[in-house]
Amino acid sequence: MAQHLDVVFDRAYYFDAKIRHDTDMRCNQYAARELPDLDIFYTESNLGQFEHFTHDQVLVGGIQPNMILGMLIGADFVPHPAMDADISMTPLMGIDPDSLPSPERLLDHDLIRLFDAQIAQIKNDGALSPIPPFFWDASGRATLHGTLTTAQKFLGESLFIDLMTEPEKGVKVMDWITECSIVLTRHFSEVADLPMTAVHIGECSGCMVNSDMFEQFVLPQASRISESFGPLRFHSCGCSTHLLESIKRISNLAMLDLGGDTSMARVRDIFGRDFPVDMAPMPADFSADSSEPILNWAKQVIEQNAGGNLRINYHLEPDYKLEIVRSLNRYVTNLNNGSNH
């Protein structure tokens, strides 16, 4: 988008709601105009839902959830004019967990007050509908990073060693992250008058641990969140076959969102045919020399799925080849009698 529309994803894009809405509308108009056959829209990857998107929605604080929490504890926001923003790394490295502020104290932070004021102004003006931080559309589905993923971002790679050698210390930080996520999400739901209906947890680091560590450190945190918010869509982007039985034990689990190297056959063995699963193709296949790798992947996944409740989804990257994307779309559309959903 930065290349084709000459838009800039600078600090103002993330912190000025009018600029955000104007830019997002330009990006969506471009997608609809240039890629009408792909049935896509511009949103945060895998979080916004097309069926709940309308042009009068404006994202307030539309920033990755663990980045917002990171800024509340001192991390610097690092925008990039043509790429995803980030924060300065490891803001909690070396921290004494007992010195962390209470989650409720974070609500007094200037950043939270800024987002609250923007939401109030948009509601007062009446022309647009504010979508608050930790949400990406009007569905009411909250979106959070998994607690392990956030802990890794805040503490660094040493977290995994610490969880084996000093588990009590790591668990204290993870408990704090989970409680902060719950407090902040509830706050913004109330401020924006957007009732929570479900929750998405993106536990991108989950596939880096074995099943025992997952059950000890990830499962309790994910269950705490889903017990607070309702039906859970659980995302694990890497190969997660070894975690499937553990994932099934998470409270209120309602949907899986998996990377393409997880065994679909094993998914159906454990979860059954009717359990809803989203799966993304292997990113490298979109940049291959031909469509053969991605079509072979799709054939295998669909065969292993055996008619189960499956949706193949993906996001576009600058180096993806559109002819390969279209080949995948045509293949799935033909199987679904004309529907590419």
- Tens digit of each residue's pLDDT (9 = 90 or more) over 154-164: 999 999 999 99
* Long-range pairs of 318-326 with CB within 8 A, sequence gap ≥ 24: 318/3, 319/286, 319/287, 320/286, 320/287, 321/286, 321/287, 321/288, 322/35, 323/291, 324/285, 324/286, 324/287, 324/288, 324/290, 324/291, 324/294, 325/38, 325/286, 326/37, 326/38
**Section 41-64 average pLDDT:** 92
Q: What is the percent of the chain with per-residue pLDDT over 90, rounded to a whole number?
A: 90
Nearest 5°: phi and psi at 281?
-65, 170
Q: What is the pLDDT of residues 63-82, one digit of tens each?
A: 999 999 999 999 999 999 88
Mean pLDDT, rounded, of the chain:
96
Tell whether the model's pLDDT for residue 340 goes beyond 60: no
Global pTM reads 0.95
Tell whether the model's pLDDT for residue 18 goes beyond 60: yes
Cα torsion angle, 323, 325, 326, 331, sign: positive
Q: What is the pLDDT of residues 83-120, one digit of tens each?
A: 899 999 999 999 999 999 999 999 999 999 999 999 99
**Section 272-289 average pLDDT:** 98
pLDDT of residue 82: 83
Q: Say how far residue 294 (Cα) sits from the centre of its chain.
A: 23
Torsion region of 101: left, alpha or beta (phi above 0 gives left; psi -120 to 50 gives alpha)? beta
Nearest 5°: phi and psi at 238?
-85, -175
Cα distance between residue 82 and residue 268, in whole Å = 40
Q: What is the pLDDT of residues 169-182, one digit of tens each?
A: 999 999 999 999 99
Confidence category of residue 326, pLDDT binned at 50, 70, 90: very high
Mind listing the domains of the chain with CATH numbers? 87-259 (3.20.20.210)
Q: What is the pLDDT of residues 197-252, one digit of tens each?
A: 999 999 999 999 999 999 999 999 999 999 999 999 999 999 999 999 999 999 99
pLDDT of residue 332: 94
Q: Where are the beta strands (DSSP E) in the chain?
A: 57-59, 77-80, 83-87, 129-131, 141-145, 198-202, 232-236, 253-259, 277-280, 310-312
Q: What is the pLDDT of residues 182-196, one digit of tens each?
A: 999 999 999 999 999
Tell whether the model's pLDDT for residue 298 goes beyond 70: yes
Tell whether the model's pLDDT for residue 339 goes beyond 70: no
